[in-house]
Chains A and B, each alone.
Chain A
Amino acid sequence: MIAIEVISKTYASARALQQVSFEVQKGELFGLIGPDGAGKTTLFKILVTLLLPDAGKATVAGFDVVKDYKMLRTITGYMPGRFSLYQDLTVGENLQFFASVFGTSIEANYALIADIYTQLEPFKNRRAGNLSGGMKQKLALCCALIHKPEVLFLDEPTTGVDAVSRKEFWEMLGRLKNRGLTILVSTPYMDEAVLCDRIALIQNGTILAIDTPEGITTHFTKPLLAIRGADTYRLIKDLRTAPFTHTCYAFGEYLHLTLKSESVDRTYIEAFLQQKQHRQIEMHPISPTVEDTFMSLMDRQ
């Protein structure tokens, strides 16, 4: 449904995208995972025909993003990273406006948004500017859906939204996917990656890996240890300077440690830490998460 072939884009000051290629299948919920400034928004703007690529080619639903941009605009739905609705118009007026701009009506495509809009309906006459963050995102999603697009582009839809609303939002995406929509969504939150069918990890304008959320962790080849101690700060400092450490990152209350060679075992590490007077040490092997994979791929680069 979406085919991206060696797309590059350079801004005056920085290289935003370097030879990015991937494909998204029809009906897929595809996640673009990466930190701020990785190039996610630039790629989105190219795909929704707001920006022209320097090199490469991309098609959405078979339409070229450069040549067939007019046609494309009628079949794609786009929700920018920033809340981009009219704050001085009411919920109903915003939706009505976007419906008529796309030459349709709320009634015609109500089925598609009914699920989301019923939650907004009590606030129908409230100005969009006075909605909560989660409600704003729901309204923006409704507005992006109102013309019944085939492909939905959501640029960081859950940034700045509370945990409950984030969860609800992802449930909605799942239901939309089940209706046959192709969804490309970007997020800086690694924990949202597992909710996608497939994900692409992006960093500094380059794709690091593309796979299913489970599959992506197979890119992580080294054994991984989770370690916890009484003094986390000192622990991370000591572990990072230890001769056997390859990488050491903090994940919540645990530290995730990879080793330079497999010959070093847990008793050796425990001895090393005891010698440094660390107390309450707890250590166990774990399977890597998406974030571990991202960090290791980033390092390898």
Chain B
Amino acid sequence: MKRFFSFVHKEFLHIFRDKRTLLILFGLPFVQVLLFGFALTNEISYAKIAILDNDKGMHSRKITHRLLSSGYFRLEENLTTYADIEKAFRKGKIKMVVVFPQDFDSEYERSKGAHIQLLADASEQNTAISLVNYASAIIGDYSAAQNPVASSPMMIDVRSRMVFNPELKGAFVFVPGVMAMVLLLVSAMMTSVTIAREKEMGTMEVLSVSPLTQSQIIFGKVLPYLLLSFINGCLIIALGVWVLDMPMNGNLLLLLTETLLFIFLSLSIGIFISTLTDSQLVAMFASLVILLMPTIFLSGFIFPIESMPKPLQVVSNIIPAKYFIAIVKGIMIKGVGIGYLLKETLILLAMAGLFIFMSLRKLKTRSL
């Protein structure tokens, strides 16, 4: 046991001596979470709009007020003629124009069939769609509030509700994804590089002839990174909850346990990669290509799995991050317990077992 701990101690020395390792270990999660959380968001807040109010009646003013106090829109300018609309768009500042026609008030009062025109700059199509949807929803709310009883018996009233994430916050999607990506990358890449380094430097030979067993060598490599990655995981959760306003509806202990399981799986993948190569460079590239790409594109992190072609959907089943993302979303956002996540948990457990088994078989302290 003393042997094992002196091995672990040596690993910590390696980690803390190498500034680059430390930077990747603790700089990467911070940058990723904040980048995805703030810069790469598709949420709308205070989009600049212009208003062309040809009526200037009570309703148009009230609707304008509702739009501007919602937090989604900010008034950039008031337009006076239709010709101004194109000019305003050309200047590129505004994203949407709300047009109230003449007689808006009287039309609205009389026939309940008044029209509002929403013009959006669709050169950014996602933003345009979101803006029009938000504006429509706010105007619809206003209209509904004015007429508590639906006047037309034939009208079908669709009321949708965005469950779990009513404000459609991007962080809900990104934080679990970034967490999976960072943990997988840091744990798997670090371990694969560190074992490859022992082989490259020839120290593996010396370790092999020592009384250390192969499982002592493997677990000695894993333990320091397990601890550091766990700290990393906690850091990402904390950033998500306190900086990006992620909810924490489920059991924190369960979330941490699942995180630990996922880190363990990532480390076992890292060890497996390192048993396949003797070079640090190959180990690093293998980690990046085998792990990073599929995690970003096939785990449902950025592109929904449901909208992938069938073959890719099948492939996505072997991406560990897919299950971890489902688990994190389940616990943090939906607040479900282990009962609902049993399948994902067991799959991760099985994957970890498989990789550890394959590594122990491959990493021998003597060769033929």
Chain A residues within 8 Å of B, Cβ to Cβ: 48-52, 69-70, 73-74, 76, 78, 80, 82-89, 93, 96-98, 100-103, 143
Contact = CB atoms under 8 A, between A and B. Distances in A.
Interface in B5-59: 6-7, 9-10, 13-14, 17-18
Contact of A49 (B13, B202, B206, B366): B366
A98 B209 CA distance: 11
A84 B367 contact: no
Contacts of A87: 201
Contacts of B367: 50-52
Contacts of A48: 209
B2 interface: yes
B366 A83 contact: no
Contact of A101 (B3, B205, B368): B3
Given A101-B7, A103-B2, A86 B211 contact: no
A141 to B, nearest CB: 13
A105 to B, nearest CB: 10
21 contacts: A48-B209, A50-B209, A51-B366, A51-B367, A76-B209, A80-B202, A83-B202, A85-B206, A86-B10, A86-B201, A89-B17, A93-B10, A96-B6, A97-B7, A98-B206, A101-B207, A101-B210, A101-B212, A102-B211, A103-B211, A143-B206
A73 B205 contact: no
Contact of B3 (A69, A84, A85, A100): A100
B205 A86 contact: no
A101 B10 CA distance: 11
A289 B201 CA distance: 37
Given A50-B367, A86-B14, 4 more contacts: A51-B367, A52-B368, A88-B13, A103-B3
Contacts of B206: 78, 80, 84-85, 98, 143
A50 B366 contact: yes
Nearest to A54: B368
A256 B212 CA distance: 51
A84 B6 contact: no
A115 B206 CA distance: 23
B136 interface: no
Interface residues of B, number: 25
Nearest to A78: B209
A84 B203 contact: yes
A84 B209 contact: no
B208 interface: yes
B6 A88 contact: no
Nearest to B17: A88
Given A88-B14, A88-B18, A100-B2, A73 B209 contact: yes
B205 to A, nearest CB: 5
B13 A74 contact: no
Nearest to B203: A84
Interface in B193-248: 201-203, 205-212
Nearest to B207: A101
Contacts of B208: 50
Contact of A70 (B17, B18, B207, B211): B211
Given A88-B18, A102-B210, A69 B7 contact: no
Contacts of A101: 3, 6-7, 207, 210-212
Given A76-B209, A78-B209, A89 B13 contact: yes
Contacts of A78: 205-206, 209
Contacts of B201: 84, 86-87
Contacts of A82: 202
A49 B18 contact: no
A100 B5 CA distance: 9
Top 9 A-B residue pairs of the complex, sorted by shortest distance between their CB atoms: A100-B6, A84-B202, A82-B202, A88-B17, A101-B210, A84-B206, A78-B209, A48-B209, A97-B10
A276 B60 CA distance: 119
A87 B197 CA distance: 11
Contacts of A93: 10, 13
Of B3, B7, B209, B368, the most chain A CB neighbours within 10 A belong to B209
Of B10, B14, B202, the most chain A CB neighbours within 10 A belong to B10
Contact of A74 (B203, B205, B207, B211): B211
A32 to B, nearest CB: 18
A72 to B, nearest CB: 9
Interface string B73-101: 00000000000000000000000000000
Contacts of B207: 101
A152 to B, nearest CB: 12
Given A48-B209, A50-B209, A82-B202, A89 B3 contact: no
Nearest to A49: B366
A50 B205 contact: yes
A74 B211 CA distance: 6
A96 B18 CA distance: 20
Nearest to A99: B6
A174 to B, nearest CB: 24
A89 B16 CA distance: 11
B14 A98 contact: no
Contacts of A100: 2-3, 6
A73 B10 contact: no
A86 B206 CA distance: 11
Contacts of B205: 50, 78, 80, 84
B338 to A, nearest CB: 40
